[in-house]
């Protein structure tokens, strides 16, 4: 028994480490979104600010770092991503549904082949799906000559929808297959016996039964499309989606605006997950009540009668929420008290950095002079270096810091 | 075919056939076959395509093995090195993921009470709804030269100057392990959940040690889940592009980056296609190996 306790204890620690491995990076990234420094970091902490969600900043060396609300490339990419996601849902859900229904109707050898081909796209690396779509459609566009076919064959958004549909249909297919496995086929037969046409059976029985699967397939398809990078980066050609914009930003240099974007996405995800969980629990509860009621009606056993109590209970999650809010207010208060929030703090940090930068510059210039003194002649002096640091106008364009 | 129409009615049958033919033929089979064909063709300007020079050739595969004709090396050490490194690292990442996830999956399936397990599952899913690029970016913040980890290590006095995690590829390997860990947990969890707890108790009553119970009962039962998880993680890791783009050091290439270069920067589509075929064959070989090793069918791998 004792060894069991120790084992559980170790397991608990392990799970804690595992969860912090999963969440730690995301939490730290979220924190860096509020640091006003232009490099996403927790230390050194400059000021608490919302600038990365708003207008961004122009760094002391003249580099412009756009914030979330002012970055038009991001907005452009977002719109295209949403459009592509919508297109993929419209194509992939019906395809997945058709394939899964037909799978229940074919048999033996054909079934195995059909199933194997259907799940193949999931096992293909995403880059390969993107490439094959592009090369095929480029060929089609070449053969098709000028006109409509050539236009769509070289349209990045169209190709991306096709490429993503290729493997996202498989996700939908698998969701539908799982749901159809529990389908009672006698329902269909009964409807047919009662004189319904096949089309009616499809719309009145099969579709309503598949409705939950359609909903979850649509959500999954949209999310998979929205966050896809590997296929998109090839098939998008000269256009940009949200993910390719993010990728090019990350590659060019890392800015806290990306942390801010990530925080927005994380918040949306959390809200969605919590809403889903609440709905699911409520649904479960309702189902259980209905079953209890049914049981009571069937047996008429008074022991099974459940008096519905209407007492109001405070849900536990309120306490957690309250705790977070109080903690947040306290922390924020602390920030304000220590002068780590607001435009003043940002200004102070900025000027401190500027003066540090100009100090370093001065030091450089001094070194240059010292060198000249040491060498005592033409060699190694300012002349040899083309007067790089001697020219006071050189750094003028960087945006006016105080050189004196 | 006739019975198919009879069973579904004309309207629905047409919809089924159009949807399936469009998907299987136009989206899956033809693009792959065309890419395979393209990989055997020389890289020609658009005007010469279909002309007399457009013949089947092995030039791109030769380039992968022997390098360009102007190079002095007998073999193309750079590309082969990248390929071997990619495959080897992907296998390593898969094994590490399996070792990491097995205890968690076992805990969720057999030890934890259902509510705690549910909560754990939901909280595990949340990080994976967030874009792979952004997750890699989070790790990049941690591993940067003046990032959190370096600052902590220096602050506690363990090291004197910052470690360059990105140049040492530690960041890349951590990122790859981090990226697809969920796809290992869920197949394992599904497989382990169906294990009858009575079997574990019986083994214990008969005096089997914990290790032996796992080796003889739990692991054989979870075989399909292990095969499925390993395949998915390997495929996605070997075919990863987002994580290497964000986290790899300037002098380390992932094989997909090489493909990307041939394709987008050097405009040599047929060579890009040839390299893609190589990656695809490696993936297919791995799947077949897993199927043989664990004696599972392909349908059990993807669920």
Nearest to A241 by CA among A54, A88, A403: A88
CA–CA dist A239, A235 (Å, integer) = 9
**Mean pLDDT, range B93-107, rounded to an integer:** 87
Residue A379 has pLDDT above 50, yes or no: no
Residue spans of the domains in chain B: they are: 71-301
Residue corresponding to tokens 């490696």: B282
Partner-chain contact A41 B134, CB within 8 Å: no
CB of A240 within 8 Å of a chain B CB? The answer is: no
Substitution target from B45, B129, B151 for chain A, most A beta carbons within 10 A: B129
CA–CA dist B294, B228 (Å, integer) = 10
pLDDT of B15 reads 84
Residue A386 has pLDDT above 50, yes or no: no
* SS3 of residue A101 by DSSP: helix
Q: Is A23 exposed, middle or buried (0-12, 13-18, 19+ CB in 10 A)?
A: middle
Provide the b/e sequence for A144-171 (b: ≥16 CB within 10 Å).
Answer: eeeeeebebbbbbbbbbbbbbbbbbbbb
- pLDDT tens-digit readout, A311-367: 566 666 677 778 888 887 877 777 666 666 666 666 666 677 667 777 777 777 777
**Mean pLDDT, range B112-134, rounded to an integer:** 79
Binned at pLDDT 50, 70 and 90, residue B206 comes out as confident
CA–CA dist A149, A153 (Å, integer) = 6
Residue B49 main-chain phi, psi, to 5 deg? -65, 140
Instruction: Identify all chain A residues contacting B29, using CB atoms and an 8 Å cutoff.
Output: 117
pLDDT of A64 reads 63
Partner-chain contact B123 A105, CB within 8 Å: no
Q: Which of A18, A41, A243 sits opposite B104 (nearest CB)?
A: A18
pLDDT of A89 reads 92
Binned at pLDDT 50, 70 and 90, residue A86 comes out as very high
Residue B51 main-chain phi, psi, to 5 deg? -85, -165
- Which domains does chain A show, CATH number per domain? 2-66 (no CATH), 73-254 (1.10.3720.10), 343-398 (no CATH)
Please state which of the ranges A207-211, A230-234, A367-371, B182-186 shows the lowest mean pLDDT. A367-371
Which helix H or strand E contains A56, and what residues bound it?
Answer: strand A56-58
- pLDDT tens-digit readout, A114-153: 888 888 888 888 888 888 888 888 888 877 777 777 777 7
Residue corresponding to tokens 């058709």: A98
pLDDT of A402 reads 44
Partner-chain contact B148 A28, CB within 8 Å: yes
Partner-chain contact B139 A25, CB within 8 Å: yes
The CATH number that domain B71-301 falls under is: 1.10.3720.10
The DSSP code sequence of A205-247 is IIHHHHHHHHHHHHHHHHHHHHT--TTHHHHTTT---HHHHHH
Provide the b/e sequence for A257-293 (b: ≥16 CB within 10 Å).
Answer: bbbbbbbebbeebeeeeeeeeeeeeeeeeeeeeeeee
CB of A225 within 8 Å of a chain B CB? The answer is: no
Angle CA A305–A306–A310, to nearest 5: 150
Q: Which of A41, A251, A262 sits opposite B138 (nearest CB)?
A: A262
- pLDDT tens-digit readout, B60-98: 777 777 766 666 666 777 778 888 888 888 888 899 888
Q: How many residues does chain A have?
A: 404
State how far Cα A350 lies from the chain centre: 32
Residue A235 has pLDDT above 60, yes or no: yes
Inter-chain Cβ pairs, chain A and chain B, closer than 8 A: 243
- pLDDT tens-digit readout, B139-160: 888 887 777 777 777 777 777 7
Query: What is the sign, positive or negative, of the torsion defined by CA atoms of A40, A44, A50, A51?
Result: negative
- pLDDT tens-digit readout, B190-202: 888 888 778 878 8
For the record, the structure tokens of A71 come out as 């970055």
Partner-chain contact B178 A126, CB within 8 Å: no
Partner-chain contact B148 A262, CB within 8 Å: no
- ipTM score assigned to the predicted complex: 0.84
- Could you count the other beta carbons within 10 Å of the beta carbon of residue B252? 17
**Mean pLDDT, range A234-252, rounded to an integer:** 82
Find residue A65's DSSP bridge partners. A57
Residue A108 main-chain phi, psi, to 5 deg? 45, -120
Q: Write down the pTM of the prediction.
A: 0.80
């Amino acid at each position: 028994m004792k060894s069991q306790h120790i084992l559980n204890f170790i397991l608990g620690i392990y799970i804690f480490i595992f969860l912090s491995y999963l969440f730690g990076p995301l939490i730290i990234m979220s924190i860096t979104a509020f640091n006003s420094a232009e490099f996403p970091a927790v230390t050194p902490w400059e000021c608490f600010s919302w600038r990365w969600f708003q207008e961004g900043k122009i760094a002391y060396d003249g580099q412009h770092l756009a914030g979330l609300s002012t970055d038009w490339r991001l907005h452009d990419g977002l719109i295209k991503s949403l459009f592509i996601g919508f297109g993929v849902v419209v194509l992939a859900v019906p395809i997945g549904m058709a394939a899964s229904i037909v799978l229940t109707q074919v048999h033996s050898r054909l079934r195995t082949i059909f199933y194997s081909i259907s799940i193949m796209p999931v096992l293909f690396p995403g880059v390969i799906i993107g490439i094959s779509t592009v090369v095929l459609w480029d060929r089609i566009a070449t053969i098709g000559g000028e006109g409509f076919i050539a236009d769509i064959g070289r349209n990045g958004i169209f190709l991306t929808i096709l490429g993503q549909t290729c493997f996202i249909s498989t996700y939908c297919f698998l969701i539908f297959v799982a749901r159809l496995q529990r389908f009672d086929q006698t329902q269909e037969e009964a409807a047919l016996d009662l004189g319904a046409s096949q089309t009616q059976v499809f719309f009145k029985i099969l579709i309503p039964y598949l409705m939950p699967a359609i909903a979850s397939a649509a959500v999954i398809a949209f999310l998979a499309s929205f966050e896809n990078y590997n296929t998109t980066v090839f098939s998008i050609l000269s256009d940009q989606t949200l993910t390719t914009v993010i990728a090019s930003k990350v590659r060019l240099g890392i800015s806290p605006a990306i942390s801010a974007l990530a925080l927005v996405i994380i918040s949306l995800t959390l809200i969605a997950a919590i809403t889903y969980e609440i709905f699911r629990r409520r649904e479960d509860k309702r189902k259980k009540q209905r079953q209890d009621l049914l049981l009571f009606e069937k047996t008429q056993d008074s022991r099974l009668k459940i008096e519905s109590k209407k007492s109001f209970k405070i849900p536990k999650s309120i306490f957690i929420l309250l705790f977070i809010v109080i903690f947040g207010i306290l922390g924020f208060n602390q920030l304000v008290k220590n002068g780590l929030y607001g435009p003043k703090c940002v200004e102070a940090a900025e000027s401190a950095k500027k003066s540090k930068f100009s100090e370093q510059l001065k030091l450089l210039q001094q070194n240059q002079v010292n060198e000249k003194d040491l060498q005592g002649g033409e060699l190694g002096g300012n002349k040899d270096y083309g007067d790089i640091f001697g020219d006071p106008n050189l750094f003028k364009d960087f945006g006016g810091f105080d050189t004196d | 075919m006739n019975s198919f129409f009879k069973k579904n009615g004309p309207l629905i049958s047409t919809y089924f056939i159009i949807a399936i033919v469009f998907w299987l033929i136009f989206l899956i089979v033809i693009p792959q076959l065309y890419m395979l064909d393209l990989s055997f063709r020389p890289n020609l300007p658009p005007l010469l395509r279909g002309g007399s020079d457009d013949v089947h050739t092995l030039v791109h595969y030769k380039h992968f093995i022997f390098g360009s004709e102007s190079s002095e090396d007998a073999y193309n050490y750079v590309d082969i090195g990248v390929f071997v490194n990619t495959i080897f690292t992907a296998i390593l990442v898969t094994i590490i993921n399996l070792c990491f996830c097995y205890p968690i999956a076992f805990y969720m399936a057999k030890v934890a009470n259902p509510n705690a397990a549910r909560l754990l599952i939901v909280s595990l899913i949340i990080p994976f709804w967030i874009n792979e690029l952004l997750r890699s970016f989070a790790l990049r913040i941690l591993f940067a030269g003046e990032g959190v980890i370096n600052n902590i290590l220096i602050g506690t006095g363990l090291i004197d100057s910052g470690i360059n995690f990105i140049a040492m590829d530690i960041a890349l390997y951590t990122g790859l392990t981090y990226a697809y860990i969920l796809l290992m947990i869920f197949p394992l969890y599904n497989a382990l959940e169906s294990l009858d707890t009575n079997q574990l108790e019986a083994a214990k009553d008969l005096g089997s040690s914990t290790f032996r119970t796992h080796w003889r009962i739990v692991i054989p039962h979870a075989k399909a889940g292990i095969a499925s998880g390993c395949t998915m993680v390997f495929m996605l890791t070997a075919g990863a592009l987002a994580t290497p783009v964000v986290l790899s050091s300037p002098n380390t290439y992932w094989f997909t980056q090489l493909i990307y270069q041939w394709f987008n920067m050097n405009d040599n589509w047929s060579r890009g296609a040839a390299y893609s075929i190589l990656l695809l064959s490696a993936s297919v070989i791995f799947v077949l190996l897993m199927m043989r090793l664990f004696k599972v069918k392909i349908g059990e791998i993807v669920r």
